[in-house]
Amino acid sequence: MVILKLRIRTAEEWRELAPSDSVTDPVFVPTTDELEPQQAVIIEISSQLLPNKVLIRGTVQSWRPALPRMRVRAGATIALAADEQTKLTFLHEVFSGRRTDVPRRRHHRLPVSVSVRYRLANSSSFVDSAISEIGVGGALLTTPEPLPIDTELTIEVTPPGAAAPLAIAGRVSYHVPSGGSGLRFVSRDGDGDRRLRELIRRLRAS
């Protein structure tokens, strides 16, 4: 997966690159790397105004070279993934100053679209689902309705190129407006932590 790094210095700069509040409209990312239409990318957004880097999935619509005489920057027009609306809204709120009480995360989250299944702690039945982001500390599980806070569960995800799924224990720690359930991973020993980091590495490289 290609990762485009986008450093934002001011709110005005952000609005110039992402003028719309909706993921149905594209954003522009300055880059001299030539990209192909329909190429999947991740935009890594960093700023002193943000508590952490924010990573958003998207697809290249077009790329243009620089035209120095016309003061045109090289860059790509990126269509954002439909399920990244919550992150886009968060970015607009932070850069506009409407949201300031955002805690800093210990670990970055990688935006993904990966099928998983999960089982509640008091159940033997698995439910098919997906995760839209994952990090060493937790993941965002797609659920029709938010699971109750402190719900304990186990998710199973198969790393790219692997035959067997990886089981990860977690606990619901927050909700998002889209209905997703934010998980905090628990009870990881040294080997479990290593396998989780390897999973994230494979997902980033896929």
Q: What is the pLDDT of residue 8?
A: 96
Each of the 206 residues of the chain gets a pLDDT tens digit; together they read: 788 999 999 999 999 999 999 999 999 999 999 999 999 999 999 999 888 888 899 999 999 999 988 889 999 999 999 888 888 998 999 999 887 766 666 667 788 888 999 999 989 899 999 998 898 888 989 888 889 999 999 999 998 888 889 999 999 998 876 668 889 998 666 677 888 888 888 888 87
Alpha helices (H) along the chain: 11-17, 85-96, 190-205
Q: What is the pLDDT of residue 175?
A: 82
Degrees, nearest 5: CA angle 178-183-189: 160
Contact 33, 6 (CB under 8 A): no
Q: What is the pLDDT of residue 19?
A: 94
Fold of the 2-96 domain: Thrombin, subunit H (2.40.10)
Integer CA distances (angstroms), 26 to 23, 62, 80, in order: 7, 10, 6
Q: What are phi and psi of 145, to 5 degrees?
A: -130, 145
Q: What is the pLDDT of residue 190?
A: 64
Q: What is the pLDDT of residue 102?
A: 65
Q: What is the pLDDT of residue 150?
A: 94
Q: What is the pLDDT of residue 188?
A: 62
Whose tokens are 């522009």? That residue is: 28
Domain ranges in the chain are 2-96, 110-205
Q: What is the CATH number of domain 110-205?
A: 2.40.10.220
Asked, colleague to colleague, whether 2-96 and 110-205 share their fold, the answer is yes
Whole-model pTM?
Answer: 0.69
Degrees, nearest 5: CA angle 86-108-29: 60
Tokens of 184: 């905090």
Contact 78, 28 (CB under 8 A): yes
